[in-house]
Structure 1
């Protein structure tokens, strides 16, 4: 598969921006986790991980699925040359979202004490204090998410990368790190939350600027897209919450059922998975509007090309991380301090599940952009129900290991079910030649090579030698397979980032 289409080149440009943003976000989030685990007790770290997880779940619920809906409808409007309706679409999306965000913020503020009793027993008021302060920033998170989604619908990834993936997490790291050192754990909540305010303001300004560049806006009273918009977006509301719940609810349930110290260990261990998920989200966000355009034209050949090429890139970017963690999880978890290596078994189970999940590519996004949001909702709810059931069954007796089993089962169901559906309905799948080569290029240096070296080396020598040789072999494989993996498209996109600023808006 050596051919390069304009859509793939656009996906590459978006992926470069988002991979850059995800890299910054991943490093900042990881360093934030290290700072919290090193500078606070396990109980305090458990409170922080549980509170931020609940905040992210609440903000996801408040999106009402409109963040996906605005991308879907603006992508379709762009494909049809109807971006003069962009303002109408945004008004349709953001007004209900803001109302719900304010209601959820008030509920979170007023119910902080009961939530602490239910979710973080033994927090001694710390969890409730976190929630009351974080509640004030729920509307800011809503504006940030909707505005950056709108810019993606207009065809550019830059605001998402610059604001949501770079500025916000770096600002959170700086504020939390400085104030945690100077004032102690009590300052973490507002230091972490405050970053949503300036990024929300900048995101809205950027959306308005790009909207005017896209097309002169026309407010047509006869154009009423609300019915179609919310019929598509409503299923995404539950699906979006369920997807965030599968990533975050485990931490909350571990804290409630096994203790805050266990929540700290599980939260730290799963931060490594967050690094890989950020990369997956970067590729997904880049390809999402292009899939919307391609499927709007019923161009299934072009869709297959995008899907398989982006899956190969996703495997190349994430499999090395997961394979290293499979082989050296206990060693790497020592970064967080004493006691955190107890999450080794949980990390192993989750990394194995993530290898399967990433090999499926952005299958749920293909399903959504094909207009099958109801089936996406069904799949996510099945996976979430499995996750929660296994959590309640296994966490009380097995702690973080039980939570890992629940999440791993949910990850597998959440990817294999939509994979079967997109193949059945559209004959689409991610397993092209590029994907299989990407799997081999990652598995040999980071999976098989460390196993072979383990027969003659141990401890730190095994870890360092495996990484050094692994990256040499991996780099050589990427060079030899650059045509088949279409890496030239990514390299070209990276070289043309500056030139791209001078191109027309539609090519960004």
Structure 2
């Protein structure tokens, strides 16, 4: 079991590592090329686009993973109906979001449906237990393409209006390839009655939670821009961009074990679920804590890479690093909670987290700017992780660390020959 987690997890983490580095380099390119106000406007616009896409996804991808992972080979014939039932409502919401945000996003607003559909189809692939399409397309092609196209636009002297289409364009080939991969894997069958009802009965509570999660991840950038201006938003984005490393690492491991967790909890195999959770948490801590410690210690020098004025944001980095160490030590608590079917509880947890973030932001940003924003994000992040951690302990006796932790790490090490 540990070997499977390590193999699939490392595949996901390889994409996560590349994506994180590409995103950081992209921020460096933008902050070094454009004034802080213009860079902040670009970062705010991309945050709005990703928030809108996150809302429009309706968490249909996780719903597909749940139903595909629980299916057996004899009922795979109905999978195409689940995919259609998942994609169509998301496209409707994405088109509406694109129309509303066109004044702010320009031509990039037209690509919101592409971003949403690509994410849902990649999730369907993970439901079959395959993380390769997600790693290659979402982990490598998207961030790599964004870095190349945005850098080319910046070198060509393009204004901020054209940076957004360059940033969104890589999702087009992702959608095409993901659709072709599924077309080869899934038999196209007539729509079975009740498919949409079953899918959305499970997914609807999580749809709101997914929207709140999308807002939670990026609302701080938008609030900083609104309350303090685009220049502080650029400083805040640069200082906190490294948090995508932890988020993508968590995402990479979650993609590797999510389908297994769903099966284990559906079959009542609590010990197997505990093993998956503890092994993934151990690897998340081992792989990310050295990064957070290094970032906290070297932040005053590292932040100057974005520009001389960005070095003063070192206190933001300290708060970020400490918070992410606590969050990674909790493991992928929300993934475990939703895999167990508690989508309603997950929704309440996210509501509490975003309420904490927004209240702290409104109270602290006017006085402390970007530092107040990271304090608000930190409060919400702690609520988001510690609350479900307590719930898992109370309901299932699950802990992020335990007797499976060391065997998971030892099982991945090369064995010495006798």
TM-score, length basis structure 2? 0.95
Asked whether the equivalents of residues 5 and 279 of structure 2 are also in contact (C-alpha less than 8 Å), the reply is: no
For this pair of structures, how many residues does the alignment match? 414
Tell me whether 1:144 sits opposite 2:137 in the alignment: no
Q: Provide the residue aligned with 2:251 in structure 1.
A: 281
Secondary structure in structure 2 of the residue aligned to 1:26: helix
1:14 to partner: Cα distance: 1.9
2:401 to 389, 410, 431: 431
Once the two structures are superposed, the pairs formed by residues 11-160 of structure 1 within 5 Å of their partners are: 11-78=5-72, 81-109=74-102, 112=103, 128=104, 131-160=105-134
What does residue range 101-500 of structure 1 map to in structure 2 within 5 Å? 101-109=94-102, 112=103, 128=104, 131-186=105-160, 187-212=162-187, 218-219=189-190, 221=192, 223-433=193-403, 435=405, 484-489=407-412
Query: CA 1:487–1:48 in structure 2 vs 1: closer, same or farther (change >3 Å)?
Result: farther
Aligned pair in 2 of structure 1 residues 383, 329: CA closer, same or farther (>3 Å)?
A: same
Partners of 1:491 and 1:104 lie apart in 2 by: 50
> Greater CA radius of gyration, 1 or 2?
1
Distance 1:490 1:254, change over 3 A: farther
Alpha-carbon distance in 1 for matches of 2:410, 2:132: 21
- CA shift, 1:190, in A, is 1.4
Please give the secondary structure, in 2, of the residue aligned with 1:415: helix
Instruction: Out of 167-176 and 193-202, give the one that drifted further.
Output: 193-202
Instruction: Give structure 2 stretches of 5+ with no counterpart.
Output: none
TM-superposed CA distance for 1:272, in Å, is 0.8
Residues 168-188 of structure 1 show CA distances to partners (whole Å, capped at 9, x for unaligned) of 110110011112111333331
Distance 1:490 1:57 in 2: 40
Q: Is the 8 A contact 1:102 1:138 kept in 2?
A: yes
Q: Runs in 1 of length 4+ with deviation above 3 angstroms?
A: 217-221, 487-492
Report the CA distance between 1:425 and its aligned residue.
Answer: 1.0
Deviations 1:40-94 (A, max 9, x none): 110111011100000000001101121111111111114x753222111101111
* Structure 1: 5+ residue stretches without partners: 113-127, 436-482, 493-508
Distance 2:155 2:168 in 1: 17
Task: State the superposition RMSD in angstroms.
Answer: 1.7
Q: Hey, what's the Cα distance between the residues in 1 that align with 2:209 and 2:292?
A: 26
